[in-house]
């Protein structure tokens, strides 16, 4: 799952990021409200963790803009404010949940799991390629004999390539899908995951092709 974290406190942001990555999520870290509003207009993340007090536009302004354009992705608001009025203001602006600083990471993780269930419970159309079916809600790949046990990062890679519908996806775009924008991970990691996934898919009439310097595409092998 892709999660955007908008938090200007670098130590808090890193702590959140490490926790989410340990749970297998891709994380995009943004530290400025103006940058966050631009980023959130076109990104493909599933959940937004949004601090209220930010340089540039505030978290509430960003949230109101999201809801105003019909972006209804789950938003968890973070703030040092603990007063009831501030919580009500945030929830009235369209937040799905609210967490006051300081907080325990176990509680944060529980809130994220709850929001994740909302995302995965949303009906999504099952996709098919070759002899494989992909259920985006359950994030499960199945063949003629049933579900296939594939590590979660390879599932994320499969999903990103499937979404491209046979078009090329750059190595950097795949890296962002796996770890989040700006993650301190080198591009060769993508080659490792692609190699592993390619071997798993070949028996099911699905191939991953590389175009040197351009990226990867996934197609039906038949």
Q: Among residues 155, 132, 145, which one has the least CA distance to residue 221?
A: 132
Confidence of residue 222 (pLDDT cuts 50, 70, 90): low
Whether omega for the bond prior to residue 102 falls within 30 degrees of 0, making it cis, is yes
pLDDT of residue 46: 87
What pLDDT sits at residue 156? 83
Query: Average model confidence (pLDDT) for the chain?
Result: 86
Structural domain boundaries in the chain: 2-121, 127-220
d(CA 107, CA 22): 15
Residue 178 has pLDDT above 80, yes or no: no
pLDDT value of residue 70: 78
Q: Which residue has the higher pLDDT, 179 or 55?
A: 55
Query: Of all residues in the chain, what percent carry a pLDDT higher than 90?
Result: 40
Neighbours of 178 (CB within 10 A): 21
Q: Please tell me the predicted confidence (pLDDT) of residue 120.
A: 63
Q: What is the mean pLDDT of the segment spanning 55-77?
A: 90
Residue 81: its pLDDT value, please?
Answer: 65
In the structure encoding, which two tokens stand for residue 162, read together?
A: 């499937």
Residue 83 is predicted with a pLDDT of 61
Query: How confident is the model over 92-114, as a mean pLDDT?
Result: 88
Q: What is the mean pLDDT of residues 153-158?
A: 86
Residue 7's contacts (CB-CB under 8 Å, 6 or more residues apart) are 13, 16, 29, 31, 49, 51, 78
Q: What is the CATH number of domain 127-220?
A: 1.10.10.10
pLDDT of residue 137: 67
The CA-based dihedral angle spanning residues 178, 181, 184, 186, taken in that order and rounded to the nearest 10 degrees: 60
Model pTM above 0.75: no
Please say if the pLDDT value at position 218 is more than 60. Answer: yes
Better pLDDT: 169 or 136:
169
Topology given in CATH for the domain delimited by 2-121: Rossmann fold (3.40.50)
Query: Tokens representing 49?
Result: 């963790």
Q: Say which residues have a Cβ less than 8 Å from residue 161's Cβ, sequence separation at least 6.
A: 169, 174, 208, 216, 217, 218
Task: State the Cα–Cα distance between residues 111 and 90, nearest whole angstrom.
Answer: 16
pLDDT of residue 82: 61
pLDDT of residue 99 exceeding 70, the answer is: yes
CA-CA distance, 86 to 46, in Å (whole number)?
Answer: 25
Q: What is the pLDDT of residue 207?
A: 94
């Amino acid at each position: 799952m892709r999660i955007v974290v908008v938090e200007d406190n670098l130590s808090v942001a890193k702590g959140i990021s490490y926790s989410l990555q340990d749970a297998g999520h891709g994380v995009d870290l943004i530290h400025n409200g103006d940058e966050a509003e631009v980023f959130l207009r076109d990104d493909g993340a599933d959940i937004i963790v949004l601090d209220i007090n930010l340089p540039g536009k505030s978290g509430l302004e960003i949230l109101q803009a999201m809801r105003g354009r019909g972006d209804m992705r789950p938003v968890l608001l973070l703030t040092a404010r603990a007063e009831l009025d501030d919580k009500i203001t945030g929830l009235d602006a369209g937040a799905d949940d609210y967490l006051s600083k300081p907080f325990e990471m176990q509680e944060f993780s529980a809130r994220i799991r709850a929001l994740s269930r909302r995302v995965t419970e949303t009906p999504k159309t099952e996709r098919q390629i070759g002899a494989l079916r992909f259920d985006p809600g359950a994030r499960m790949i199945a063949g003629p004999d049933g579900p296939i046990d594939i590590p979660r990062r390879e599932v994320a890679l499969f999903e990103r390539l499937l979404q491209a519908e046979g078009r090329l996806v750059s190595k950097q775009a795949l890296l962002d899908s796996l770890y989040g924008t700006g993650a301190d991970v080198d591009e060769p990691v993508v080659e490792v995951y692609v190699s592993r996934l390619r071997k798993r898919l070949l028996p099911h009439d699905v191939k991953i092709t590389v175009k040197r310097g351009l990226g990867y595409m996934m197609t039906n092998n038949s």
